[in-house]
Chains A and B, each alone.
Chain A
Amino acid sequence: MLCQICGKNEATVEFTEIVNDQVKQLHLCDYCAKKKGVEMEQHFGVADFLAGMSGAGRSGQGPSLKCDKCGMTFDDFQRIGRLGCGNCYASFRESLIPLIKRIHGSTRHVGKSPKEIDKADGSKKVPEIQELRRKLQQAVDREEFEEAARLRDRIRELENKTKDR
């Protein structure tokens, strides 16, 4: 029997596929079976991993959290592995932050942001606190801990100031 995909090589593998509850039997050659296997691996993508990883985020009792802007629930996110809108980050914050920490090893953005741009003249204004966070990261990377401690204190000071305001 010839392979049912390429129709060229001798079929050596029996492949069972279930698509939308329909069971399909395929007789494939080694090459096409391997290709199918790769497709399946790719199908199990980042979303599936994320959905699994965020599992610990919920108490398991009571209704799932819901984003008030787009209507996505945290259950939806766990199922799909994708968020519904920018506001979901705020709506699911408590459960997302540990997940983000696990993915990136950090929960603090230190790169550019649109607010840096003063639209009147197009020049950049980097907020002091972001610049300090960036320097802190660099100091930690270089293992300059005294400098890091100084920067950390300065960041705390600024953070408290914004809170008081």
Chain B
Amino acid sequence: MTIGDLWGQTGEWLKGTGPNSDIVMSSRIRLARNLAKYPFPHWATSEQLEAVISDFEQACKKADYFKGALFVRMGELDNLEKQILIERHLISREHTVKSEHKAVLISEREIISIMVNEEDHLRIQVLQSGFNLHDTWKLADRIDEELEQNLEFATASDLGYLTCCPTNAGTGLRASCMVHLPALVMTKQVGRIIQAIGKLGMTARGLFGEGTEAYGNFFQISNQVTLGRSEEEVVDSLGKIILQIIEQENAARNSIFANQRLLLEDRISRSLAELKSARLISSEEALNLLSVIRLGSDLGMIKGLDRNILNDLFIQIQPAHLQMKQGKALSAEERDAARAEFISKKFNI
């Protein structure tokens, strides 16, 4: 498998299957682990970092989960390929900075990815479609155990798994869901909900866009605390919060559908028209319009759109994916043109 193969396929987490996949796009578990033998990546020598990569590679060969997986050193990838991995949520932006002595393992269906020598020696990620936190955690747990058979992780009896930054120590677990909340944004309730989430030890941030902006009305909700709560408790309480968010979003959708039907129809058909006829479109604009289309499709107001295809569009219109498709680097304006053409083809069937 190569990066080129990835680009052509739809990642498992975008399939739009699984429970509540209209509102919850995907569920993710991340575990931070370090090898006891070596200093943390930022404090290790080149030789030690290489030893981490080779120890991990050896351990992977013995694990059943990684058959057919892609294992690649970041230094072997060009900028476009690195960007593709970021856009597919397989690596972090930090992992592309100073790529020497960094590597990543990606499973065939992009469910599992493990970054080697990011902030911690290993960052294990499991990403699945829909509202699926428990199964996702169970899979991450099994992968962790399988790696543990052959790698000795840094731990302390009272502080659990030891991580480079004390904010991750303990379970090293970050559980999160990507949620699509267009109706809560439209009814201006989302700010209140994000505040409430913060009080419960969870955090919400925009999924696309920089800083606190949330293009396309996608938010990522995750736990903050990693010490003093077991993994199951964290997954449970995040799950309960997500359930309430689903309820609130559904209530807001029903209220708009019942009380502001004409306004909603207007926004949906305008968005569709713009996507069909635009000649230049920025990713911010496209994400926001696609969000309205996704809502319209969820409410049955647009027929015949497959959620799988719609979800994939959110990724395919990102800059690196567009450039990979064209087979060359594009300027910002060329990208906007390529994006508009690509989208209009999808909708003018």
A interface list, Cβ under 8 A from B: 6, 35, 38-39, 41-42, 46-47, 50, 69-70, 72, 80-86, 89-90, 96, 99-100, 103-115, 117, 119, 122, 134, 137-138
Q: Which residues of B contact A86 (CB under 8 A)?
A: 34, 36, 154-156, 162
Asked if B229 and A96 make an inter-chain contact with CB atoms under 8 angstroms apart, the answer reads no
* Tally of B interface residues using CB under 8 Å: 43
Is residue B160 contacting chain A, with contact meaning CB distance below 8 A?
Answer: yes
| B93, closest chain A residue (CB) | A42
Is residue B12 contacting chain A, with contact meaning CB distance below 8 A?
Answer: no
Which of B36, B159, B210 sits near A109, CB closer than 8 Å? B159
Q: Which residues of B contact A115 (CB under 8 A)?
A: 155, 157
Asked if A109 and B153 make an inter-chain contact with CB atoms under 8 angstroms apart, the answer reads no
Distance between Cα atoms of A10 and B166 in the complex (Å): 45
Is residue B191 contacting chain A, with contact meaning CB distance below 8 A?
Answer: no
| A109 CB to nearest B CB, Å | 3
* Chain B 161-182 interface mask (CB, 8 Å, partner A; 1/0): 1101111011101000000000
Is residue B62 contacting chain A, with contact meaning CB distance below 8 A?
Answer: no
Q: Which residues of B contact A113 (CB under 8 A)?
A: 155, 157, 160-161
Q: Which residues of A contact B164 (CB under 8 A)?
A: 82-83
**Known contacts A83-B165, A83-B166, A89-B159; is-contact A111 B148 (Cβ 8 Å):** no
Asked if B39 and A100 make an inter-chain contact with CB atoms under 8 angstroms apart, the answer reads no
Asked if B149 and A119 make an inter-chain contact with CB atoms under 8 angstroms apart, the answer reads yes
Chain B positions 314-333 with a Cβ under 8 Å from a chain A Cβ: 332
Distance between Cα atoms of A41 and B213 in the complex (Å): 13
Known: A82-B43, A109-B171. 8 other contacts (CB 8 A): A38-B211, A50-B167, A85-B43, A86-B36, A109-B170, A111-B173, A112-B171, A114-B152
Is residue B145 contacting chain A, with contact meaning CB distance below 8 A?
Answer: yes
Closest 9 CB pairs of A and B: A106-B228, A86-B154, A109-B160, A104-B227, A84-B43, A38-B211, A111-B171, A86-B162, A85-B39
| B65 CB to nearest A CB, Å | 14
Asked if B43 and A70 make an inter-chain contact with CB atoms under 8 angstroms apart, the answer reads yes
Q: Which residues of B contact A83 (CB under 8 A)?
A: 40, 43, 162, 164-166
**Known contacts A46-B165, A122-B145; is-contact A104 B171 (Cβ 8 Å):** no
Which of B36, B43, B166 sits near A96, CB closer than 8 Å? B166
